[in-house]
Amino acid sequence: MKAREFLAQKKVAFEERDIIKQPPSEAELAALAKKLGGVRLLIGPKRVAELASLPDAQVLPHLARNPGHLRRPLFDLGATVLAGFTEETRARLGG
């Protein structure tokens, strides 16, 4: 089940953003990383090895230029951010 379907089924209101068409700024990514617990947690699983040698200070600029390398979906819950549509994410979203 995709995240969108899951949220609709659980009647969870959400705002969707196409990060390819509307890429997040470095400032937005920095705020998300702070809530998530680190910049590397924003990297998509398929890109972790590729970006492993990139210094932390260069991760946010890279992700801002390459939004397809972000882990998706991202759920900004205000005080916290959840990344990826994992079992833990589903549980925290009420499922």
For residue 40, give the CATH number of its domain: 3.40.30.10
pLDDT tens-digit readout, 56-88 = 999 999 999 999 999 999 999 999 999 999 999
> What global pTM score does this model have?
0.90
Specify the DSSP element, H or E, that contains 74. Answer: strand 74-76
Helix ranges (H only) for 10-78 are 26-36, 56-65
- The count of structural domains within the chain is 1
The boundaries of the domain holding residue 7 are: 3-92
Residue (of 8, 3, 1) closest to 85 by Cα position: 3
